[in-house]
């Protein structure tokens, strides 16, 4: 075999290899913990035969990784637990437009990107948890009222580096503007019972033992503690109650876990297939029953703790605005002294 024939042979073999179907798989970079998504992925694989490879970590780390990897990324999907991160990934050109009748029909417009670059999968609300021994529900109204001097030294909350708090402040900016929100934030900081620390469960426990009287947390942390089966968590949660803020005004602040298909996905069709599965009734009911999150499909009935809490009015702003105003929120919180 002379050199020309040998070269041609190698090229033909390589070309044929490139045309062969790749293994049926989808690769996910997930900022959501494995236990809170893996069971659904296993069900999807059982139904379709498509293997799902999951890598978990921090959303910001994955966004940076996708930038560095570029066309060489193995990731087909980026999953995050906040709309602001999804908006950031889109702005960096890391997602591609997905035209799916299933996704567009199931997910309300305000819970997905206007250009179909990302989609919400589940909802959570930032609620007020309070001690019924020291606070009357009638004393609570909305987020803005938490700046009132009657709450001086009585509020617990996570740090300003927490994306859930950043998104809450971003939503306040949407409704009230930067100047009024900054005045609110400065007064809110004066009402802190302690320097922000710990996660949402720590804020609930702090209310339970009297460190503070009210706290801002995501609803699923309280629900998870109530159903945890761990005596200390159940006991702490039972000493508190949930209050839905803003029910006669803008409604309670909501956020999402959500996904986008990466710009350089090698398995786009399978990735879309997975996204469509994640908004099926089966998957959405799982989010409610196991993760204590609300379905993006308003037709799905809540069960367990969520059902007992009842319906609530949610803020209806388009969640893209949380990402748009994220940097404004971060700078504002810093100026307010929210550590």
pLDDT digits (tens, 9 = 90+) for 74-133: 999 999 999 999 999 999 999 999 999 999 999 999 999 999 999 999 999 999 999 999
DSSP secondary structure of 299-311: TSPP-HHHHHH--
Quote the pTM value: 0.89
Strand boundaries in 197-261, DSSP class E: 214-218, 241-243, 254-261
| C-beta separation of 317 from 174 below 8 A | yes
If DSSP codes are grouped into helix, strand and coil, which group holds residue 33? coil
- The structure tokens listed for 326 are 């994220």
Cα angle at 103 between 267 and 321, to 5 degrees? 105
| C-beta separation of 335 from 181 below 8 A | no
Asked if pLDDT for residue 333 goes beyond 90, the answer is yes
pLDDT digits (tens, 9 = 90+) for 226-281: 999 899 999 999 999 999 999 999 999 999 999 999 999 999 999 999 999 999 99
How crowded is residue 48: how many other Cβ atoms within 10 Å of its Cβ? 15
DSSP secondary structure of 159-190: -TT-HHHHHHHHHHHHHHHHHHHHHHHHHHHH
| C-beta separation of 329 from 169 below 8 A | yes
CA of residue 202 relative to chain centroid, distance: 19
Domains in the chain with CATH codes: 24-123+257-302 (3.40.190.10), 124-253+314-335 (3.40.190.10)
């Amino acid at each position: 075999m002379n050199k020309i024939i040998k070269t041609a042979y190698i090229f033909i073999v390589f070309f044929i290899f490139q045309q062969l179907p790749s293994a049926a798989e989808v690769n996910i970079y997930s900022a959501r913990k494995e236990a809170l998504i893996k069971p659904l992925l296993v069900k999807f694989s059982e139904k379709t035969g498509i293997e799902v490879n999951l890598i978990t970590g921090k959303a910001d780390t994955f966004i940076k990784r996708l930038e560095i990897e570029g066309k060489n990324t193995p990731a087909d999907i980026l999953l995050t637990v906040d709309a602001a991160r999804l908006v950031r990934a889109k702005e960096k050109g890391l997602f591609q437009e997905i035209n799916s009748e299933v996704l567009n029909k199931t997910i309300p417009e305000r819970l997905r990107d206007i250009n179909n670059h990302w989609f919400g999968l589940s909802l959570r609300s930032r609620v007020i948890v309070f001690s019924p021994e020291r606070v009357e529900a009638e004393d609570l109204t909305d987020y803005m009222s938490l700046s009132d001097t009657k709450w001086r030294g009585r509020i617990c909350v996570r740090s300003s580096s927490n994306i859930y708090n950043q998104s809450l402040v971003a939503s306040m900016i949407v409704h009230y503007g930067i100047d009024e929100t900054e005045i609110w934030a400065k007064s809110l900081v004066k009402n802190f019972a302690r320097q922000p620390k710990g996660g949402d469960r720590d804020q609930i426990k702090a209310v339970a033992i009297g460190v503070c009287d009210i706290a801002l947390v995501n609803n699923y942390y309280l629900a998870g503690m109530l159903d945890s089966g761990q005596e200390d968590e159940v006991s702490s949660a039972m000493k508190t109650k949930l209050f839905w803020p803003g029910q006669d005004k803008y409604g309670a602040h909501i956020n999402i876990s959500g996904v986008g298909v990466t710009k350089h996905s090698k398995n786009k069709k399978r990735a879309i297939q997975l996204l469509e599965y994640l908004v099926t009734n089966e998957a959405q009911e799982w989010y409610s029953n196991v993760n204590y999150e609300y379905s993006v499909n308003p037709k799905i009935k809540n069960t367990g703790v969520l059902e007992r809490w009842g319906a609530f009015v949610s803020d209806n702003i388009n969640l893209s605005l949380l990402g748009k105003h994220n940097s404004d929120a971060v700078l504002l919180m810093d100026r307010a002294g929210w550590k």
